[in-house]
């Protein structure tokens, strides 16, 4: 009887630990469109350290183009999955700061937390990792003391502060604020689909350092065309319905499979179909960029 009671008690304690474990790894990762030319990022980290000096603070990026919620959404999807479950992310690309857009903390199905305005930043995470729970930040509790009259720096006064309290275990996820339906604002875009011997998709982002074009056509979708290295594929790229690129290019596994200055299709590090010029800049050369209003279609030559 004592053994049964002991096992039950251990199980109960483990369940409590499991419920809170995801918020206790003390890691906070920051993403903004602030840049690092001034003290904004440092102020956010100062607030976090003011909550707890035990926190481990990291940067995802602070070079999101100003107001570009779409790119912020993509960088989260590109990165979150590689961090331990329980990591708390702060994403502040917030052109509507101070307006009635909701300030939320979401818990993904993988156990990650994202503190952000609900303005489309969670578009890709909702699709890939899934949203388990959404809570609206209660600013009467989870706001830096003395900042009540500040309306233009929620990243410092609300998001960094709330994230630090959550990551350090000073509050539970339930104490963030009221429970909302598990749905978030989604930016519309063309998802990758196979139709009539071609695939239609979107250009979510550029490999910005090199000017390569990254699509959302993943390996499982691409394989439906049965394209092999060395085969040519027809690539058509449109922006708002206007065709800007229409050529056949070889599919290769590495950049070096074609001569310098030559164009190729390849699969990037996320196993999504991409286009490049070997040691050149595809984006600048053809004036191709990224966003929810770009469309790409591919087919066998």
Distance CA 140, CA 133 (A): 21
Q: Is the separation of the CB atoms in 244 and 237 below 8 Å? A: yes
Together in a domain, 78 and 154: yes
Measured CA to CA, the distance from residue 264 to residue 242 in angstroms comes to 22
- Burial degree of 159 (CB within 10 A; 0-12, 13-18, 19+): buried
Domain shared by 160 and 247, yes or no: no
- Residue 226, helix vs strand vs coil: coil
**Distance from CA of residue 46 to its chain's centroid?**
24
Decide if 145 is inside a domain: yes
Strand, coil or helix: 185 = coil
In a domain, 172, yes or no: yes
Q: Is 149 exposed, middle or buried (0-12, 13-18, 19+ CB in 10 A)?
A: exposed
DSSP 158: I
Domain that holds residue 239: 193-300
Q: Could you give the number of structural domains in the chain?
A: 2
Assigned domain for 243 exists: yes
**Per-residue pLDDT tens over the stretch 91-142:** 999 998 888 899 999 999 999 999 999 999 999 999 999 999 999 999 999 9
Structural domain includes residue 1? no
202 in the same domain as 106: no
Strand partners, 235: 247, 298
Task: Kindly report the pTM of this predicted structure.
Answer: 0.88
Task: Return the pLDDT at 23.
Answer: 52
The answer to whether position 6 is within a domain reads no
Q: Is the pLDDT of residue 259 over 50?
A: yes
In tens, the pLDDT along 212-237 reads 999 999 999 999 999 999 999 999 99
With respect to residue 251, please indicate whether it lies within any of the assigned structural domains: yes
Tell me, yes or no, whether 4 lies in a domain: no
What CATH number corresponds to the domain at position 274? 2.40.30.90
Q: How far is CA 93 from CA 5, 13, 42, 118, 199, in A?
A: 51, 39, 16, 10, 32
DSSP 8-state secondary structure symbol assigned to residue 56? E
């Amino acid at each position: 009887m004592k053994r049964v009671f002991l096992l039950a008690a251990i199980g109960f304690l483990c369940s409590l630990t499991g419920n809170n474990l995801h918020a206790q790894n003390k890691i906070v990762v920051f993403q903004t469109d602030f840049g690092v030319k001034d003290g904004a990022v440092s102020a956010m980290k100062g607030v976090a350290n003011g909550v707890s000096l035990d926190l481990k603070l990291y940067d995802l990026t602070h070079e999101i183009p100003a107001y570009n919620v779409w790119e912020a959404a993509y960088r989260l999807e590109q990165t979150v999955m590689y961090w331990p479950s329980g990591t708390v992310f702060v994403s502040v690309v917030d052109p509507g700061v101070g307006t009635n857009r909701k300030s939320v903390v979401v818990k993904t199905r993988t156990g990650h937390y994202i503190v952000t305005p609900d303005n489309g930043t969670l578009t890709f995470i909702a699709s890939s990792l899934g949203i388990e729970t959404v809570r609206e930040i209660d600013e009467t509790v989870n706001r830096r003391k003395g900042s009540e009259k500040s309306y233009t720096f929620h990243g410092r006064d609300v998001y960094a502060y709330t994230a630090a309290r959550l990551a350090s275990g000073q509050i539970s996820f339930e104490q963030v604020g009221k429970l909302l339906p598990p749905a978030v604002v989604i930016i519309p875009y063309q998802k990758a689909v196979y139709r009539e011997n071609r695939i239609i998709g979107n250009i979510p982002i550029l490999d910005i350092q090199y000017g390569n074009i990254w699509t959302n056509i993943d390996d499982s979708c691409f394989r439906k065309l049965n394209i092999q290295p060395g085969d040519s594929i027809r690539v058509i790229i449109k922006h708002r319905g206007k065709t800007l690129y229409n050529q056949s290019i070889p599919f290769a596994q590495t950049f070096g499979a074609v001569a310098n200055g030559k164009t190729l299709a390849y699969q990037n590090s996320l196993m999504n179909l991409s286009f490049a010029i070997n040691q050149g800049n595809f984006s600048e050369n053809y004036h191709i960029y990224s966003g929810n209003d770009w469309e790409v279609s591919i087919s066998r030559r």
